Chain A
């Protein structure tokens, strides 16, 4: 059996393996050291950071739904300055790529957050969250309006020399259009998807379960939707894609790779099993060995669509 080459490159960042953790599901990374060795991960993406701290939405904020969950956290976070002072120095002790997920209420706020992060030692890249469905100021407008997306991406591009990944919203009519806008504005890579807007109702009380009324749907329920969007974006743009949505196992990772993703992010699975991301790395390596696949990169975009007829 071969020991497979797990390395992959996205936006110029060389990852030791294609498994990253998704923003908002892995805290600031350090919360997971009881459960796994962060060195095992290709990379980790922080909770969405804004220039100033935010308090978020009132409860209830999360609820389980069929094969998934809805969340409306409201982007509660410690702010970029605390991240730089308290979290990043500790993360530097680990051999994994740290990506800061960033959002803002206004273009100016996005720009400010990117400027503060630019040049930070130990930061491998910035992921722009233009797609949070849960706050009026969460940047959703930037995720659904092609002109606004292009504009904010261009402004952030100017602010930082770090690799820039734009995280796309699935809550659009044509994601290919958004992908092209982000690429034209200077995105080095795209990550997709963020959560789908959804709603759950407490039928006895006749009230929405979440205080925010709606929330973002994540988990296995969204995986087929996310795989399809990955495949569509793969055909629209040539820049690398990070696939996200309902990944629970190595098999699910392979699905995204075949659809055209160069790496993936594990989200909700880390709530179910805190060690899920590292477990998936091991499982993926075994999956490749068992099939005598020498490099994980062989899978990227490897989907074969039989001719119809």
Chain B
């Protein structure tokens, strides 16, 4: 353990881990809408009231496309819970996704009414920062997907640090600008916000601030998460990371979705992020 804050984060994590286990549901739903947001980013909407009632920000679904020829389901974070984007939307759930390959390519072609198989809620969600502690989100591109639902769940308005390659890779930027306390943008080509990586505005924001007053929550590509971990852990800043890994099942049985973590025996353990994540305290990662 690295300092008092890190161990607080670990304690919060443990407390949450002993909450009663919620049943995983496997449902067939219909696409309500599948809206193109530009540059291969889409906002998928479907309705599943039972799942929506149980799900918390940071958890994910395994989504299958029956009859598409794609065998395994694909993991996607919950982006919108009832009330995230609209107020009177009982049972409505949203997924923000980017076309990366075959599975997401097929998903992008689905029209309204197309069937999806949805498994959820899966994994552990984020630990909400205590009231008065400022949530500081760090998102890399499509890594912003879990943050709309989380924004709505936080009692203190979050700071959103949003980085990407280019202007088109910042889906829902306007939504974040109008719902977060502060939104700072960095693009590698300088097309919006400052030119460079998102860690630059993050370091500036942190300068002179007491680490007891804020908590980092990051989601994005692995190199970005590593950089955030390397900033947060030595400084004793509370930091949760939402991780990705190739998955076959999504509910703990294939043991495919592992990340290296620090084991109790001092050696590297392989932790399944579908059941013990996808959100992990940064200090657990043995990258």
Residues of A within 8 A of B (CB): 24-27, 31-32, 34-35, 47, 55-56, 58-64, 67-69, 71, 73, 76, 219-220, 268, 270-275
Contact = CB atoms under 8 A, between A and B. Distances in A.
Contacts of A71: 248, 254, 256
Interface string B1-37: 0000000000000000000000111100000000000
Interface string B206-229: 000000000000000000000000
Contacts of B258: 56, 58-59, 61, 76
A220 B72 CA distance: 12
B71 A61 contact: no
Contacts of B117: 273
B119 A55 contact: no
Interface string B252-263: 111111111000
B287 to A, nearest CB: 11
Contacts of A272: 64, 71-73
A35 B24 contact: yes
Interface residues of B, number: 33
B251 A60 contact: no
Contact of A64 (B26, B70, B255, B270): B70
Interface string B22-58: 0111100000000000000000000000000000000
Nearest to A63: B246
B247 interface: yes
Nearest to B260: A58
Interface in B52-84: 64, 69-73
Nearest to A62: B256
B254 A24 contact: yes
B188 interface: no
A214 to B, nearest CB: 15
Q: Tell me the interface secondary structure of chain A in the complex.
A: loop
A31 B255 contact: no
B268 interface: yes
Contact of B254 (A58, A62, A273): A62
Given A68-B71, A272-B71, A59 B245 contact: yes
Q: Tell me the interface secondary structure of chain B in the complex.
A: loop
B276 interface: no
Contacts of B252: 27, 31
Nearest to A57: B270
B249 interface: yes
Contact of B270 (A26, A56, A220, A268): A56
A274 B254 CA distance: 12
Shortest Cβ-Cβ A-B pairs, 7 listed: A62-B256, A27-B253, A271-B249, A271-B248, A62-B248, A61-B256, A34-B24
A59 B246 contact: yes
B254 A73 contact: yes
Given A59-B256, A271-B248, 7 more contacts: A47-B255, A56-B270, A60-B246, A64-B103, A71-B256, A271-B249, A272-B72
B270 to A, nearest CB: 6
16 contacts: A25-B254, A34-B25, A47-B253, A55-B269, A58-B270, A59-B258, A59-B260, A62-B247, A63-B246, A64-B71, A64-B72, A69-B72, A268-B248, A271-B72, A271-B248, A272-B64
B246 A35 contact: no
Contacts of B23: 34
B255 A26 contact: no
A31 B254 CA distance: 11
Contacts of A220: 71
Contact of B253 (A31, A55, A273): A31
A73 B260 contact: no
A73 B253 contact: no
B257 to A, nearest CB: 8
Nearest to B263: A55
Given A67-B71, A69-B72, A55 B254 contact: no
Nearest to A29: B253
Contacts of B119: 274
Contacts of B64: 272-273
Nearest to B69: A67
Contacts of B103: 64
Contacts of B245: 59-60
